[in-house]
Amino acid sequence: MRTAIERFIEYLRVERNASPLTLKSYEEDLIALVLYLEEVKGRSVKICEVTTLDLRGFIAELQQAGYAKATISRKLACLRSFFRFAVREGWVEANVAKPLRNPRTGRKLPHFLSAEEIAKLLESPPSSMASGLRDRAILETMYSSGLRVSELVGLSLEDIDFPGGLIRVRGKGRKERLSPLGSYAQKALKKWLTKRKPDPKGSKNDTQAVFLNRFGRRLTSRSVGRMLEKCLKQCGLDQRTSPHTLRHSFATHLLDRGADIRSVQELLGHKSLITTQIYTHVSTTRLREVYETAHPRAG
């Protein structure tokens, strides 16, 4: 079983070009399955011995442990992919994970900030310090282009096209897309780049990074989160706000102002339109609130 997992992870890395984070998650999920089976059966288990009933027991264990439904769905996707690969390799006759169904999850409406709150947040970093110019550029870029925080910290100098008003973004699955870069974000970036000082002893990955920490190395997603927390406290905004909230706000504001949903899908880099459609629910909810408040015969 462990040898099969090693082969599967190698397949994902070489043939599917999976990201390091995906490889790590899948390996951890499958090792957890192995440990569960060894504990239940009291011995090592061959891949050809695993049944759908075994996998149901594993999922039930996860549910009892309090794992979120979304996490369990991700683990199920891993199991289906692994046993599909096992069928291809001839290790098993059928994909025993195929009959398993994802737990039903109620979709929560994404938290977002109003245009006024966004403006307040973007103006919070102090322009008198290099770090403040960097933080302003980070916030402006995330909101302007609807970036995930991982996409933001992954930006390199060669990805910015100021004349074209575009940035090249490496999204999930290492897929690339071009995203617009508004005038405010361009202005903030240009100011930061005049103060940007990479560590001369750093790697090429660090020296080419757009956003650097105080040591001149590429900024991390965790650092962006801490910076945002600080800005939120300064301007008294909702502490539930995360870096992803700027992406939610980007999509919601575009749809509120009449943008086509398929265009928003392209801008966000969503593979499926279904993922983007949750923002139409946000817009509909807001419209209903406005109607209830403003219409004299609404209630």
Question: Which residues are annotated as catalytic?
Answer: 148, 172, 244, 247, 270, 279
Calculate the alpha carbon distances from 106 to 68, 142, 177, 230, 289 in Å: 12, 27, 30, 31, 21
Return all residues near 178 (Cβ < 8 A) that are at least 6 apart: 166, 167, 168, 169
Dist CA 224 CA 292 (whole Å) = 38
Dist CA 241 CA 262 (whole Å) = 26
Q: Exposed, middle or buried, 118 (CB in 10 Å: 0-12/13-18/19+)? A: buried
| Helix runs in 146-196, H state only | 149-153, 183-195
